[in-house]
Amino acid sequence: MSVESVHQDADIAAFESGKLLVYPTEAVMGIGCDPDNEEAVLALLALKQRPVEKGLILLAANYSQLLPYVDDNAIPQDKRFSIFSCWPGPVTWLLPKSATAAKWLTGEHDAIAVRVTAHAGARALCDKLGRPIVSTSANLTGQEPARTPEQARQYFADSVHYVDGVVGGASQPSTIKDALTGATIRN
């Protein structure tokens, strides 16, 4: 068994057991977990000192991984090109949430924040997990996001699982846009 497959198996086991994962994204280290594991999501929010009302981003390897969380039928045809032409890439879209999207993911919102990443490592992680991962910056609320695994360890020590890889070349976290209005929420 190769070293790479051992790491992949450990990543999958950590995810499936509800551990928090720190992993590289386009601009910063991300921290996340299984979006369907309420206990893991609430542990993430507590660790980050982030209120559940804000909602979270789901990061995926492809749009089909996001379909259980998005009301695809509620996305107007005239908005689809704008959304899908940005992916894979560093644009997070607020899309209508599905009827089954959990409140611990959407917070107080009628939309869910989702992104199909272009970061090779993050895509590979979602591919091997077979689903999206919750994605927020690896830091405590109000602190600078970690850009290296070493910086993330200063925040979280050994309380999380670390996925191998390096941050991409983007200088800023993803842009966030509202798909229905076209408004930019974060640039």
* pLDDT tens-digit map of 79-138: 999 999 999 999 999 999 999 999 999 999 999 999 999 999 999 999 999 999 999 999
pLDDT tens profile 61-85: 999 999 999 999 999 999 999 999 9
Peptide bond just before 88 cis, omega within 30 deg:
yes
Residue 173 has pLDDT above 90, yes or no: no
Mean pLDDT of the chain: 93
Residue 27 has pLDDT above 60, yes or no: yes
Long-range contacts, 77-83 (Cβ 8 Å, 24+): 79/179, 79/180, 79/182, 82/179, 82/182, 83/179
- So what's the architecture of 3-186 in CATH? Alpha-Beta Complex (3.90)
The length of the chain is: 187
**Are the C-beta atoms of 40 and 18 separated by less than 8 Å?**
yes
What pTM value is reported for the model?
A: 0.92
What's CA 155's distance to the chain center, in Å?
18
Domain spans, the chain: 3-186
The CA distances from residue 36 to 7, 17, 115, 145, 163, in Å, are 23, 12, 17, 25, 20
